[in-house]
Structure formats: C-alpha cells, structure tokens
Amino acid sequence: MKKADQEQAPIIDDAEYKERLLQLQIELVKMQRHNIANDRKVLVIFEGRDAAGKDGTIKRVVEHMSPRETRVVALSKPTDREKTAWYFQRWVEHLPMADEFVVLNRSWYNRAGVERVMGFCADDELREFYETVGFFEQMLIRSGLVLFKYYLDISKDEQKKRLKERRRDPLTQWKVSPIDASATKLWKQYSAARNDMLAHTHNPAAPWTIVKADHKKTARINLISDMLSRLDYEGKKEKLIRCNPSIVFTYDPSYVENGLIAP
C-alpha cells in the first residue's frame, strides 16, 4: 500500500457516521452475546500518541455493551511498590475471564513509548521488555484469550490541533497532563520509539493493526468494523462490517518507510 492510496480514502460524513455507528453497536451487542454463550475472553489494546482518539473510540465500542461483562482499564502511573514487581504483574489482575470483554486504554506498551521517551525506564528494562513481551502474549493466547492490538496513528498537525482544543474545553481539561506539553516537542523521539515498538512486537500470533485516525469518526467506524470482522458470532452482517483497508491495515515495516504511518 502506498501513501497516496490512503490520502484518497473517503471521509465518513456525520449522517452516515450516526447510522453506521448504530448498526455496528448492534453488531457489538450480538458479538458479546456470542462471547457470553461460549465463554470467550477478549482483550483489546488501544495504543497511540496523546490525542489520537483512544478515549472517544473506546467509548463508542463499549457504550451499549453489558457492564457486567465489559471493562475498560486505564491504569495510572505505578506506585513505588508496583515498580518492584514483575513488569506485567499490574495488568494480569485485569485480564479477561470467561465471558468478559476488556479494553486496555494504554497497556504494557507504555514501556516502549512514554516510559522510553520520558526516561522513566532504563535501557536494560526496555531490552527485557522486548525480549519477554512476545512470550507473555503467546501465553495469553494459548490460554484461550483473543487479543487485538490497535495503534491509532495521527499526524503532527492533527495532534497539535487536538491538544489545543483539549486545553480550551472545560469538559476535556481532565485529560491535560505535563506529558502533553512534550508530546509535539518530542514528536521525532515518539516516532522512533513507535517504530521500534512495532518492529519488535509485531508477529503473526499477536499482530499490530494500524488505524489512520486523523478523522475521528472515520477511524471509529473502520476500527469497530475490523474488530467485528475478525470475531465469529451468530447473525453477523458481513457487508456492514467491511472496513476500508486504507484506514485500517496490518502493520508492515514498509509503511514506516513510505510515510503511510505518520513520520
């Protein structure tokens, strides 16, 4: 795929967005009913730069799903005691059990992103993470867990715009953090960290799926469609859940080189 192909991708307008989102949310409820009937465990990881649209997308995914079998996990920074534990330990207790659909709003991949760029982890800790994360995820999958890893990708200009809006809006100011101030200033460092993370942790058993997220509504519709297309459930509307391959696609190193993934 070339960058030009992505630039030609159609944008979903508001009317189409509302209609398609409603239909996809109905599909999500059908999918969850199948999960519960078959004791399926689903874990969805959302990663991406600050203001990439993770919160809004997650909200639309879980909005009408059963609160008993659905959890969204967004951990704060580790305590001093948690820093002494096995790195993955603080996430283990939040993993889905039978019937559950769990979303991680950021995950153990913090180590390869924010922690690396901001100097919150040592080089040997990062190396250990890269050496062990694949085994950890393979253990989860072998236990019967269904794992999705989504990286929401936005451009530098779009991030600047969203962070500015976030600081202005009294309803989103809770999202503002000291790290936001360095998000665009350290853009190149975050890009390098992201590129290493994708290259080191993408594999056939637990692949990364990239979502072009400069247009929030288009990204949401296509991400939900992609996830539903990869899960079996009764009554699936195959035509409805087709996603645009120029918006959602499996990571490939060439996409970093040709600029399809934001440089």
Instruction: Give long-range contacts, CB 8 A cutoff, 24+ apart: 200-203.
Output: 200/112, 200/130, 201/109, 201/112, 201/130, 201/133, 201/134, 202/251, 203/134
CB atoms within 10 A of CB 89: 11
Domain that includes residue 116, residue range = 3-257
* Residues facing 152 on adjacent strands: 48, 211
Look over the chain and give the mean of its residue pLDDT values, rounded to a whole number.
94
Percentage above 90 pLDDT, the chain: 88
Whether residue 262 lies inside any domain: the answer is no
Q: What is the pLDDT of residue 170?
A: 86
Whether residue 129 lies inside any domain: the answer is yes
Whether residue 263 lies inside any domain: the answer is no
CA distance 29 to 16: 20
Edge-to-edge strands, sheet with 41-48: 70-73, 101-105, 41-48, 145-153, 208-212, 248-250
Instruction: Please tell me the total number of residues recorded for the chain in this structure.
Output: 263
**Which pTM does this prediction carry?**
0.94
Using alpha carbons, select from 100, 81, 104, 80 the residue that is nearest to residue 91. Answer: 104
Q: Within the chain, how many helices (H) and strands (E) appear?
A: 11, 6
Whether residue 153 lies inside any domain: the answer is yes
57 SS3 class: helix
Give the CA count within 13 Å in the CB-facing half-sphere of 7. Answer: 8
Whether residue 84 lies inside any domain: the answer is yes
Q: What is the pLDDT of residue 189?
A: 97
Whether residue 71 lies inside any domain: the answer is yes
Q: What is the pLDDT of residues 122-144, one digit of tens each?
A: 999 999 999 999 999 999 999 99
Domain count, the chain: 1
| CATH code where residue 239 lies | 3.40.50.300
CA distance 28 to 58: 12
Q: Do 60 and 27 contact (CB within 8 A), yes or no?
A: no
Q: What is the pLDDT of residues 37-83, one digit of tens each?
A: 999 999 999 999 999 999 999 999 999 999 999 999 999 999 999 99
Whether residue 213 lies inside any domain: the answer is yes
Q: What is the pLDDT of residues 144-162, one digit of tens each?
A: 999 999 999 999 999 999 9
145 SS3 class: strand
